[in-house]
């Protein structure tokens, strides 16, 4: 009985179209203001404000005030993973699943999940790291090997700074499009950051799609080969 209450609480938060659209927008990882989210959800500011208050109370989003702006973001990695999971079920479930359009194809290939790379390329990346013994995976947990530490440091990632943060460095996140894991956590975020900084890929405007340049793709694949 109580289990049902918990389910219903989260479900009803996610179950409203306006709120769902806001959450989907926040899956992009960038924090957004109330006005932006109102636009995204197609409602006026007052309604958006009410929705965001509920999402905040429910613990699904966090808010950071910055002057007269309020930046909203998903509260937690676990919330992002949950939303991914729900979207995955929705994708496989509906009887009315037509063949995926080109946009969906790009989404399956490479997209942002909260703050790290997801999709086939994200999965391939974790596969490569595991196969080369740089990372060990155990369920949602993961850890870096000695070899991994020197490898990632060599890529220019500041492991010391990352180690000091509370956030776990290595995590995995289940990918709905492939139903396999990709790299999340601080390291996952850092890798995505590197990929963009090197100009291998860039975020598509107003979407979660990550677009690799032809050159970037080659470089990426070379990295995976070691």
Partner DNA sequence: TTCATACTTCGATCGTAACAAAACTATCTA
Partner DNA sequence: TAGATAGTTTTGTTACGATCGAAGTATGAA
The binding site for DNA (CB under 7 A) comprises 12, 16-19, 33-35, 43-54, 67-70
Q: Is 139 in the site for a second copy (CB under 8 A)?
A: yes
Question: Which residue number, 48 or 142, has a Cβ lying nearer to DNA?
Answer: 48
Stretch that binds a second copy, among 14-22, 159-167, 183-191, 218-226 (CB under 8 A): 14-22
Stretch that binds a second copy, among 56-64, 154-162, 189-197, 211-219 (CB under 8 A): 56-64
Longest CA–CA span in the chain (Å) reads: 55
Phi-psi region of 119 (alpha: psi -120 to 50; beta: other; left: phi over 0): left
Segment holding 226, helix H or strand E: none
- Look at residue 214 and give the partner it binds from DNA, a second copy, none, a contact being a CB closer than 5 to 8 Å depending on partner kind: none
Q: At 189, phi and psi to the nearest 5?
A: -65, -40
Does residue 175 sit in helix, strand or coil? strand
What CA–CA distance (Å, rounded) separates 136 from 126? 10
Stretch that binds a second copy, among 43-51, 75-83, 149-157, 218-226 (CB under 8 A): 75-83
Residue list 87-126, contact with a second copy (CB under 8 A): 87-95, 123
For residue 42, CA distances in Å to 1, 10, 22, 27 come to: 35, 22, 10, 17
What CA–CA distance (Å, rounded) separates 224 from 99? 30
Q: How many CA atoms lie within 13 A of 50 on its CB side?
A: 6
Q: Is 183 in the site for a second copy (CB under 8 A)?
A: no
Closest approach of Cβ 124 to a second copy, in Å?
12
- Look at residue 44 and give the partner it binds from a second copy, DNA, none, a contact being a CB closer than 5 to 8 Å depending on partner kind: DNA
CB atoms under 10 Å from CB of 41, counted, come to 22
For residue 40, CA distances in Å to 2, 34, 58, 69, 206 come to: 34, 10, 20, 17, 9
Closest approach of Cβ 103 to a second copy, in Å?
9
Stretch that binds a second copy, among 61-69, 133-141, 155-163, 183-191 (CB under 8 A): 133-141
Question: Which residue number, 122 or 216, has a Cβ lying nearer to a second copy?
Answer: 122
Residue list 186-205, contact with a second copy (CB under 8 A): none
Question: Which residue number, 144 or 157, has a Cβ lying nearer to a second copy?
Answer: 144
Does residue 219 sit in helix, strand or coil? helix
Site residues, a second copy (CB under 8 A): 1, 3-17, 19-25, 27, 40-41, 58-60, 75-76, 78-79, 81-83, 85-95, 123, 137-141, 172, 174-175, 179-181, 208
């Amino acid at each position: 009985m109580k289990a049902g209450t918990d389910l219903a609480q989260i479900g009803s938060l996610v179950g409203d179209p306006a709120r769902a659209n806001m959450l989907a927008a926040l899956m992009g990882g960038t924090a957004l203001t109330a006005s932006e989210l109102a636009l995204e959800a197609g409602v006026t500011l007052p309604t958006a404000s009410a929705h965001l208050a509920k999402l905040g109370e429910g613990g699904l989003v966090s808010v950071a005030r910055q002057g007269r702006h309020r930046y909203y973001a998903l509260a937690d990695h676990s919330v992002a993973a949950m939303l991914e999971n729900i979207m995955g079920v929705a994708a496989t479930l509906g009887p009315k699943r037509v063949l995926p359009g080109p946009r969906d194809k790009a989404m399956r290939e490479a997209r942002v999940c909260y703050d790290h790379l997801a999709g086939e390329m994200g999965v391939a990346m974790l596969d490569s790291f595991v196969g080369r013994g740089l990372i060990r995976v155990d369920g949602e947990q993961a850890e870096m090997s000695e070899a991994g530490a020197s490898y990632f440091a060599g890529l220019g990632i500041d492991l010391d700074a990352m180690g000091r943060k509370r956030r776990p460095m290595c995590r995995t996140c289940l990918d709905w499009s492939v139903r396999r894991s990709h790299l999340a956590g601080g390291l996952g975020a850092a890798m995505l950051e590197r990929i963009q900084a090197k100009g291998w890929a860039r975020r598509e405007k107003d979407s979660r799609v990550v677009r690799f340049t032809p050159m970037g793709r080659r470089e990426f694949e070379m990295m995976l080969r070691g």
